[in-house]
Structure 1
Amino acid sequence: MAKDIEVASGHEYGAKDYQDPPPAALFDAEELTKWSFYRAVIAEFIATLLFLYITVLTVIGYKSQTDPKHSPDQCGGVGILGIAWAFGGMIFVLVYCTAGISGGHINPAVTFGLFLARKVTLPRAFLYIVAQCLGAICGCGLVKAFQKSYYNEYGGGANELADGYSKGTGLGAEIIGTFVLVYTVFSATDPKRNARDSHVPVLAPLPIGFAVFMVHLATIPITGTGINPARSFGAAVIYGKDKAWDDQWLFWVGPMIGAAIAAFYHQYVLRAGAVKALGSFRSNA
């Protein structure tokens, strides 16, 4: 068992014993018999539904407010900054609300990264991703039901590769953007860090939301910013146009690669998982 000791100006403030929790089993049959498991799946569905409903409405509202046919003010609406705040703010709110129930994934890429790090079981990861995709479809369906004319006219909030960018650029933007998000998730929810700093679990939704906000600022001009396969899939299903489907693979492959890299980096580089596995090094206080 390793000991974390906080030292400042040569003075020892205290030591805390810490041991990494055991990795989640690949398959846990007992988990499937618990209500808490299905409650968590429902929480992921509702959270993703609300996420898509608010954010897609924001995107469509911005486009309608800046369309010369509907508004003479070309500088009106929330702007790109407002769209980024809508996505980041909703993730902050929803992670805060659901973290104690499902972990607040709200994103198949996050779920995939946590699965690779053995934080969740395979059945949980699978059902979370299904629930997230269904929630995204229903959220976009509500937007279309309420604003059908605007929904079709302004692209339904669907992610597409912008003109002038290659597929490789779009894929790279999705990989890097998702890496930033999932890396932040791992860092903000690191149990070793939580054991040392009791305030970290309370603040975890804030950096995660800010990561989504910052990535949107950078990549909206390129891909509209996916970094969440459920968000891109739900919008494409309801919008249903060829361009959204032609580019759909970018919004699955990119985020999954980014999440895998983030999981590897955090677990095997920052947390020295590879070194521990080889048994060649032991950290001592």
Structure 2
Amino acid sequence: MEGKEEDVHVGANKYSERQPLGTSAQTDKDYKEPPPAPLFEHGELTSWSFYRAGIAEFIATFLFLYVTVLTVMGVSRAPNKCASVGIQGIAWAFGGMIFALVYCTAGISGGHINPAVTFGLFLARKLSLTRAVFYMVMQCLGAICGAGVIKGFEGSSRFELSGGGANVVNHGYTKGSGLGAEIVGTFVLVYTVFSATDAKRSARDSHVPILAPLPIGFAVILVHLATIPITGTGINPARSLGAAIIYNKGHAWDDHWVFWVGPFIGAALAAMYHQIVIRAIPFKSRS
């Protein structure tokens, strides 16, 4: 059919693709791959929607830090694990906030709330460099303000006694272990973001956009359960930066590079995997 997207011309796709069992029937709805976002889109700088999206990222990251870091500090300040929500509660606080905030902001900014997510989507050319940099700046500012408000409420002594919720590589683990945990954890998150927001799946299965925040939130929960004992779980450079700046003690900065390098590598790997392997974008052509 003229204009129909061709499958990848490799042995695995010799036969026409069939809908997996147990899913909705394949429709005949045509899907056209959207063009990549331009590297620089100067027109965005004069658009209110551009700045509205940045403000949404700022507020979302502010609220994210406020709820999650307060939860972390409550657990660290408790006399024993039974007197607090524990690691499971921390994981649910992070994942639950991501679920709620992505749901609230997805239609405005895309609901990134994380420079690593923004970086991965930029590499896949889902947004311009102009917007990506603006989002990252607003996310970091929101995180700093969120952690700052917590310190104001808690007081300096209690804030510092609880470690300020800063991410560090925990005792008994090497920096390499922490870096690996951040890479894999961020890969899980960003890969889930790509899969949950895939435009082609949205065109085929109408329920996907509605459910998108749910798997993203669950991915955050599961990654936290796995990596809190190693690094406290960063997978979000803005979250790590905001807590480190407000806490501002030596050991919070010793391992800080891990919480930027790891998430950015993980995001880049997830973007490449989704675009090259899952979607096979470089191998597709149109008749």
Same fold (TM over 0.5): yes
How far, CA to CA, are the matches of 2:174 and 2:108 in structure 1? 40
- Partner residue, 2:203: 195
Find the counterpart in structure 2 of residue 237 from structure 1. Answer: 245
Sequence identity of aligned pairs in percent?
70
**Unaligned regions of 5+ residues in structure 2, if any?**
6-16
1:226–1:14 Cα change, 3 Å:
closer
Q: Cα offset for 1:93?
A: 0.3
Match of 1:134 in 2: 141
2:20 and 2:87 map into 1 onto residues whose CA distance is 44
1:182 aligns with 2:195: no
* 1:61-72 equivalent positions in 2, closer than 5 A: 61-65=74-78, 67=79
Question: Which structure: greater strand fraction?
Answer: 1
Q: Which amino acid aligns with 2:124?
A: A
Post-superposition CA distance 1:207-229 (Å, at most 9, x none): 00000000000000000000000
Partner of 2:129: 122
Task: Return the offset for 1:6.
Answer: 5.0
The letter of the residue matching 2:246 is I
Aligned residues, how many?
271
Residue of structure 2 equivalent to 1:34 = 47
CA shift, 1:31, in A, is 1.2
Query: Is it true that 1:169 corresponds to 2:177 in the alignment?
Result: yes
Number of the residue aligned with 2:258: 250
Change (3 A) 1:199 1:258: same
The structure whose RCO (Cα within 8 Å, separation 6+) is larger is: 2
Unaligned runs of 5+ in 1: 68-72
* Alignment partner, residue 2 of structure 1: 4
Partner of 1:70: none
SS in 2 for 1:16: coil
**TM-score computed with the length of structure 1 as normaliser:** 0.91
Root mean square deviation, CA, Å? 1.8
Contact 2:57/2:112, CA 8 A, preserved across alignment? yes
Out of 71, 91, 109, the position equivalent to 2:116 is: 109
Shift of 1:14: 3.6
8 Å CA contact retained: 1:5, 1:15: no
**Counterpart residue identity of residue 48, structure 1:** T
* 1:109 shift after superposition: 0.1
1:215-230 counterparts in 2 under 5 A?
A: 215-230=223-238
- Counterpart of 1:48 in structure 2 is 61
Q: Is the 8 A contact 2:27 2:204 kept in 1?
A: no
Report the alpha carbon displacement of residue 2 of structure 1 after superposing the two structures with TM. Answer: 3.1
Alignment partner of 2:93 out of 49, 67, 86 = 86
1:7 Cα deviation (Å)?
8.1
In 1, Cα distance between the equivalents of 2:223 and 2:57?
22
SS in 2 for 1:18: coil
Deviation at 1:74, TM superposition (A): 4.8
Task: Give the CA deviation at 1:274.
Answer: 2.6
CA 1:242/1:199 → structure 2, altered by over 3 Å: closer, same or farther? same
